[in-house]
Amino acid sequence: MVEPDGPAARAGWAVRSWWLIAGMWIRSTMAYRASFALSLAANTLVTFLDFAVLLLMFAHTRQLAGWTLAETGFLYGTSSAALGAANVLVGSVGGLGERVRSGSLDTMLIRPAPALAQLAAERFSLRRLGRLLQALAVLGWSLTALDVHWTWDRVLMVPVLLLCGTLIFCALFIGCSCVQFWWGEAAELQNSLTYGGATLLQYPPTVFARELVAGTVFGVPLAFVNWLPALHVLGRPDPLGLPAAFRFASPLAAALCLLAAGLAWRTGLRAYRSTGS
């Protein structure tokens, strides 16, 4: 097999590899149909129960740290949809550590397809769509329930937010998994930034200490997933008092995150020493 030339052809080849492997795994999970149906239902329910907790909280109060249920639902829907989409696309990279430990990463490196694409599609399962579908349903509901004056820039902001949010979470999944090149068992560290980050973003920023919110702007750039653009969509003041430009900076943040994740991956791969087994 000849490696394709040029960055565009290489990216196309990576996407095609991802698609072929994911398709194979879909066929394989379909071998156990009852189990698949149950896990898809469970996956959809997981997200619903997350939201049920929010509903239970709002059953006891009209506002949480000054935000209404519809506004919190918008945060919930956008955060969970971005995480859900990223999880479908690259969520499997968390299995890197196991491959490093067992030495089976070598098999991926000698195959004529990009290792990252192979790893991202590994054990791909359609049941992961459950989270995404549930999140989009909540987002759809919140959009009808919100009391927002919909100008064209606000309307446009919603799909841009979802796209950038997905890319930022993809970068976090990939970037954090690279820790496992050195520290094979630390798969759960990734969860604290991805799943933990998504949980954080489901609640209004006013719930949290200012230092924590500042950390999501200037440290791990989670605030660009939905908090900052949501301030513009919902017409709310910024608890940190940042310049308005920050609310529009999500595409830049996403690009920087992807760049950093790519660098981390290349560094990790270069440092990788096979176990030899």
Partner 1 sequence: MRSPVDGGNTVVGGVYLSVARGAFRRYSTYRAATVAGTVTNSVFGVILASTMLALWRARPGLGGYDAAQAVTYTWISQALLATVAVWGGGFQDDLQARFRSGDIAVDLYRPVDFQGWWLAADLGRAAFQLVTRGALPVLVGAALFDLALPGSPLVWAEFLLAVVLAVVVSFGLRFLASLTGFWLHESEGVRAVMTVVSMFFSGMLLPLALFPGLLGELARALPFSAMVQLPADVLLRRRTGTGLLALYGFQLGWAAALLALGRAGQALAVRRVVVQGG
Contact 13, 114 (CB under 8 A): yes
C-beta of residue 167 within 8 angstroms of C-beta of residue 254: yes
Task: Identify the residue among 199, 214, 236, 248 touching partner 1 (CB under 8 A).
Answer: 199
Within 13 Å and on the Cβ side, how many CA atoms surround 107? 11
> Which residue among 83, 85, 200, 249 contacts partner 1 (CB under 8 A)?
200
Q: Give the separation between CA 188 and CA 98, rounded to whole angstroms.
A: 12
For the record, the structure tokens of 47 come out as 């997200």
Contact (CB, 8 A) for 114 and 105? no
CB 233 within 8 A of CB 154: yes
User: Which CB atom, from 42 or from 263, has the smaller least distance to partner 1?
Assistant: 42
Query: Is residue 78 within the footprint of partner 1 (CB under 8 A)?
Result: no
Given 212, 244, 259, 271, the residue binding partner 1 (CB under 8 A): 212
Q: Is there a contact between 231 and 242 (Cβ–Cβ < 8 Å)? A: no
Candidate ranges 15-23, 39-47, 83-91, 247-255; the one touching partner 1 (CB under 8 A):
39-47
Nearer to partner 1, 32 or 150 (CB): 32
Residue closer to partner 1 by CB (options 40, 157) is: 40
Q: Interface residues with partner 1 (CB under 8 A)?
A: 32, 34-39, 41-43, 45-46, 49-50, 52-53, 56-57, 59-61, 63-65, 127, 183-189, 191-192, 196, 199-200, 203, 206-209, 212
